[in-house]
Structure 1
Amino acid sequence: MSLINTQIKPFTTQAFKEGKFITVSDTDLKGKWSVVFFYPADFTFVCPTELEDLADNYDAFQKLGVEIYSVSTDTHFSHKAWHDSSPAIGKIKYTMLGDASGQITNNFGVMREGQGLADRGTFLVDPEGVIQFMEITAEGIGRNAAELLRKVKAAQYVASHPGEVCPAKWEEGEATLAPSLDLVGKI
């Protein structure tokens, strides 16, 4: 079942951010654009490359008013230990949510049956708490923060320009489309 255009479900959890433990809930995601970035586990292989890529691009997301929340079924304590021991993870300034209960992972439908681990799921949540974008990949397929950034820009453009849509490979500043009867069969 697709979660596109659905409201995020309530949650409250402990998180690690910039040397501190904090409490984060679904209400913290509302009022701004948010990327919720699920990954299987701390201290693994593909995960740190993805999280480092997000860290390297975090300022670009922030300039767009987007907050990033990484989520695994590890605890906030594990996130801190990983942050303190890994040069790649040590770059992270965004919030790392602990989801040991699996509530958030289940809410977003990315819990691996019988494993207690999240799939690689990426969700873009708009300021009203509605999911506008989702992508789920298999275990060995890492994600690209630059491509995610492009999709965020497209979603923000469409949200602020009713009646326009962004075609494939759209980049900021390029032409968009205004769907109409005149365009049918002409693209």
Structure 2
Amino acid sequence: MSLLNTEVKPFKATAYHNGEFVELNEEQLKGQWSIFFFYPADFTFVCPTELGDLQDNYEEFKKLGVEIYSVSTDTHFTHKAWHDSSETIGKLTYPMLADPTHTISRNFEVLIEEDGIAERGTFVVDPDGKIQIVELNAGNIGRNAEELLRKVKAAQYVRANPNEVCPAKWEEGEETLSPSLDLVGKI
């Protein structure tokens, strides 16, 4: 079964955020857009490049009312140690969620059970707590924050304009489509 349009399942987690440990649960997501950005593990290779790319674009996400939550099965203590020891990770200002119990990774169906780590999964959650975008990458393929930003803008646009759809490569401000019988076979 697809996770699209399903509500985020209940969870409680500790995050490392701006020098502090903070608690988070699914109820705190309501009323805002959220991105759950799962990655395999701290102190690895592709992961810091992705997390750094998200940070480089974080202000653009914030302007759209989107909070980013990076998530791995490491502990919040490990997140702090990585933050303190890596130049790239030390720049992060969004919450780094710890999932040592694997609850969140199982909820989002990205846990690799035999390894105890998460797949590279990206989930965009709307203000109602429903998943609107699901993306999975193989462990050796990094993601692109600018493409994710484009997808978030599209998701926000169609939420605000339910009778329109965003075609391939749609960028903010470009023409959308209004599905109708007259449009069938004309594209």
Q: What TM-score do the two structures reach when normalised by structure 2?
A: 0.99
User: 2:123: which partner in 1?
Assistant: 123
- What is the percent sequence identity of the aligned residues? 67
Give the aligned partner of residue 165 of structure 2. Answer: 165
Instruction: Give distance in 1, aligned partners of 2:29 and 2:68.
Output: 9
TM-score, with structure 1 as normaliser: 0.99
CA–CA distance in 2 between the matches of 1:123 and 1:22? Answer: 21
CA distance in 2, matches of 1:29, 1:42: 24
Shift of 1:114: 1.0
Instruction: Tell me which residue corresponds to 2:68.
Output: 68
For structure 1, the residue ranges without an aligned partner over 5 or more in a row are none
Matched pairs, number: 187
Q: Cα deviations across residues 70-128 of structure 1 (Å, max 9, x unaligned)?
A: 00000000000000100110110000000000000000000013110000000000000
Aligned to 2:82: 82
Paired with 2:113 and 2:182, the residues of 1 have a C-alpha distance of 47
**What SS does the corresponding residue of 2:57 show, helix, strand or coil?**
helix
1:139-167 Cα shifts (integer Å, max 9, x gaps): 10000000000000000000001100000
SS of 1:80 mapped into structure 2: helix
RMSD over aligned Cα, in angstroms?
0.5
Partner of 2:41: 41
Question: Which residue type is aligned with residue 18 of structure 1?
Answer: N
User: Residue 180 of structure 2 corresponds to which residue in structure 1?
Assistant: 180
Which residue in 2 is equivalent to 1:143?
143
- Structure 2's unaligned 5+ residue stretches are none
Give deviations 1:23-65, integer Å, cap 9, x for gaps: 0111111110000000000000000000000011000000000
